[in-house]
Structure 1
């Protein structure tokens, strides 16, 4: 079972904006990010046939941790292919949860190998974001925000492949349509903005960002239309802004959030998004899985 994560008041940003800025602290979730929600929901709703041959996934790390944990709870083997530059903290954590982790090339190479393993081993592929059940699981973040922040006027959400913002958007559109939903991407991996501009999911020619958890080269066939329909604004922030947001989170809010979790805070600090004039501002802090070496880059 998973417990709700808390909302934390950021005093410095609240003073700056003259109203409450609340952080939805998914870094406190099981396995250190919101990804455990989708992983658990997918496994809990899987058929025997889907589980019989074991599971397979491609991940930069947080989906690997969440799915490995959920699969271990169900006694199901899971194979994860990660790019060679994946966080060693997340690689080790996934292996400790019982997953077979294979490091292979870049993210495109990792996907190619996983498709090969699905054919050879009979694995069931569990996509990190472009799956209706994964999206539904991530949507529970939105349900909790609606319960915890009845005066919220906007949710600011990091965007990688789009699973989290899609799930939150489905919930808010149905239950509180007046609530604005704003997505924020790293400028070096703005795959959702690229899809919006292209009129369909289309791979980026290059991905380069310190926010590795958001480094999806292409958004999903499910997440693209859901995000387009339910997101009022999509912004991007650069590497410097992400680093300044990391500094704010560490020293002002005392949160050890990973770079991908900091982009929403970066957007506020840089005034990169349009906000409703009144109401609480909720920012989703998506995860906090970093090694000491990775954290050291931002402490210095």
Structure 2
């Protein structure tokens, strides 16, 4: 697991630019489950997701040699936005390769923040091109999730949850490449080891489940999900063992369930959450979660970056 001090250092490093996000009570879910269900509003963070936490921690702990040639990244969108913003704050150029089916909202947003964005193939092909660009241009790769500095930054979400919800007995966390759940898991294991950490991933991109089954990260041949922000084809060498050790349960939800959860968040909780952010709520609405017998439950709402056209498909 990542040492707690690394996460505390990250919190100190980014605190002046990234304040804590709010914890909101979901009244409808709370009444349904007979306990308080809290929503951790990471969609209110800078650039609309939790991703700037890791990106800014990486930038502010990087050496001059790492920054000299500019940065490179692969992203479905939110890492692109978060890193573009953090790099812009530091005056460092960044090149990002995104899949051709990436959200136009996120592509345009990343470009407005100063990033060079290249659209190329699917997520696996995007990675192939980025490796080529790293070699040709001398870029420093900033991995979207499989980097301890990124994980430490995302772990600050866990520190905030534990402070804001002291009576929480369970956290539901979306899972893509595993950076967020590895960070939250490391913080929770150090400060509240009895807490149940529950990971939720889309069934069309169940890369963490594949790793659990194989005993190591294993690349998916195909990713097909409306939750593009969770569409990692393979989890990380760093994130997999931490997730395996700190996560009690790993669940999958399909696109229909994600759509229902998005409508719940929009109409009942009044939150415009993107598909990948809704998987934890989807698991609750589908009755897929075995919760502890008592205590509060926190669901991480990871982001809210969508164009009107993208949202329309779910209404």
TM-score, normalized by length of structure 2? 0.94
Aligned counterpart for 1:274 among listed residues 281, 285, 290: 290
Aligned counterpart for 2:147 among listed residues 116, 131, 135: 131
| 1:229-279 deviations in Å (ceiling 9; x for gaps) | 000000001111101001100100110000000000000001111110100
Task: Give the CA deviation at 1:108.
Answer: 1.0
> What does residue 56 of structure 1 align with?
72
> What does residue 240 of structure 2 align with?
224
Runs of 4+ in 1 over 4 A off after TM superposition: none
| 1:3-34 deviations in Å (ceiling 9; x for gaps) | 10000000000000101000000000000000
Q: Is 1:95 aligned to 2:111, yes or no?
A: yes
| 1:173-223 deviations in Å (ceiling 9; x for gaps) | 001101110000001111000100011000112211000000111100000
Within 2, Cα distance between the matches of 1:59 and 1:124?
15
Within 2, Cα distance between the matches of 1:19 and 1:124?
46
**What are the equivalent positions in structure 2 for 1:49-198 lying under 5 Å apart?**
49-198=65-214
Task: Give the CA deviation at 1:115.
Answer: 0.5
| 1:114-171 deviations in Å (ceiling 9; x for gaps) | 0011011100000000000000000000000011000000000000000000000000
Within 2, Cα distance between the matches of 1:203 and 1:274?
29
Within 2, Cα distance between the matches of 1:140 and 1:254?
25
| 1:43-71 deviations in Å (ceiling 9; x for gaps) | 00000000000000000000000000000
Within 2, Cα distance between the matches of 1:114 and 1:132?
20
> What does residue 27 of structure 1 align with?
43
> What does residue 264 of structure 1 align with?
280
Q: Give the CA RMSD over aligned residues.
A: 0.5
Within 1, Cα distance between the matches of 2:181 and 2:247?
8
SS in 1 for 2:314: helix
SS in 1 for 2:313: helix
- Which blocks of at least 5 consecutive residues in structure 2 are unaligned? 1-16
Q: Is 1:242 aligned to 2:284, yes or no?
A: no
Within 1, Cα distance between the matches of 2:117 and 2:255?
29
SS in 2 for 1:24: strand
Within 1, Cα distance between the matches of 2:59 and 2:192?
29
SS in 2 for 1:139: helix
Within 1, Cα distance between the matches of 2:61 and 2:290?
38
TM-score, normalized by length of structure 1? 0.99
Q: Is 1:18 aligned to 2:34, yes or no?
A: yes
Q: Is 1:283 aligned to 2:283, yes or no?
A: no
- Which blocks of at least 5 consecutive residues in structure 1 are unaligned? none
Within 2, Cα distance between the matches of 1:238 and 1:106?
20
> What does residue 202 of structure 1 align with?
218
Q: Is 1:292 aligned to 2:308, yes or no?
A: yes
